[in-house]
Amino acid sequence: MNKAEILIIDDEPQIRKLLQINLESNDYKVVQASTGKEGLILSASHPPDLILLDIGLPDKSGHKILQELKEWYNKPVIILSVQDSETDIVTALDNGATDYLTKPFRTGELLARIRSAIKRSQNTENISTVICGDIEIDLIARIVKKNNEIIKLTSTEYNLLALFAKNEGKVLTHQYILKEIWGVGYQTETQYLRVFVGTLRKKTENNPNNPQHFITESGVGYRFQ
């Protein structure tokens, strides 16, 4: 049984009820909040394993709630919202959201993303090696292998790959990646990113033109899987 605890922060009673039924039937514990303030209080008093957060809350924007949560809460936050603009999605991901689904959503897909997010959260502590298909990344020795053969990477290529590996399955925005790898002031230099992702695909993918690991999230960023 999962028995992981999930906090739902959403002002729509029907959505909360639907989520509660589906989550409890899959052995999750469920806690509900109808406002951002209530959600912050509940998450602080008893931090859940994952939070499902709506953007359109009655008392405070979900974006602001997410920013406040991420000051201390280091577990997954999945956004569920009717707001599907690129700006909202990028803002949420830049603010630390683990994932973003638009309403109406498919229950099976949501459950799969919840499982993946919780599993990644549980596995990130003291992580030293990431194995993704035929790629093995030793984060201590800074060695990357494909089919047990060492791949030669530049320092920037390795740092980029390590960033992706540590966030496996999570969408990383262009701005976030550029800031983490090149630093503040480079968030608009998306050409840098395209060039280095292209190089990594050539060195790690079986078919760089049909990548299986470095997945483009159009208009947003990349997901490593």
DSSP class per residue in 138-149: ETTTTEEEETTE
Nearest-angstrom CA–CA distance, 13 and 208? 46
pLDDT number for residue 180: 82
Task: Report the b/e string of 43-57 with b at 16+ CB within 10 A.
Answer: beeeebbbbbbbbeb
Under DSSP, the state recorded for 174 is H
pLDDT band at 125 (very low <50, low <70, confident <90, very high): low
pLDDT band at 40 (very low <50, low <70, confident <90, very high): very high
Q: Which amino acid belongs to residue 179?
A: K
Mean pLDDT score of the chain: 88
| Residues 177 and 221: beta-carbon distance below 8 Å | yes
* pTM greater than 0.85: no
- pLDDT tier at 142 (50, 70, 90 boundaries)? confident
pLDDT digits (tens, 9 = 90+) for 169-188: 888 989 888 888 887 677 77
The pLDDT score that the predictor gives to residue 1 is: 47
**In the chain, % of residues over pLDDT 70:** 96
Q: Are 132 and 225 in contact (CB under 8 A)?
A: yes
Is the pLDDT at 58 greater than 50? The verdict is yes
SS3 153: coil
Q: Is the preceding peptide bond at 76 cis, omega within 30 degrees of 0?
A: no
The span from the CA of 88 to the CA of 66, in Å, is 12
Domains of the chain: 5-123 (3.40.50.2300), 129-224 (1.10.10.10)
Q: What is the mean pLDDT of residues 191-217?
A: 91
Q: Where is 123: in which H helix or E strand?
A: helix 107-123
Choose between 167 and 50: higher pLDDT.
50
Mind listing the pLDDT tens digit for each residue in 13-26?
A: 999 999 999 999 99
Residue type, 100: Y
What's the rounded Cα separation, in Å, for the pair 185 and 179?
7
Measured CA distances, 177 to 53, 190, 204 (Å): 24, 10, 19
| pLDDT tens digits along 61-110 | 999 999 888 878 878 899 998 888 888 888 888 788 888 998 888 999 99
Q: Dihedral (C-alpha) 141, 171, 59, 17: value to the nearest 10 degrees? A: -110
Give the model's pLDDT for residue 133. 82
pLDDT at 192 (0 to 100): 81
147 contacts 134 by C-beta, under 8 angstroms: yes
Q: What percent of the chain has pLDDT over 90?
A: 41
Q: Write the burial class of residue 112 (CB in 10 Å: 0-12 exposed, 13-18 middle, 19+ buried).
A: exposed
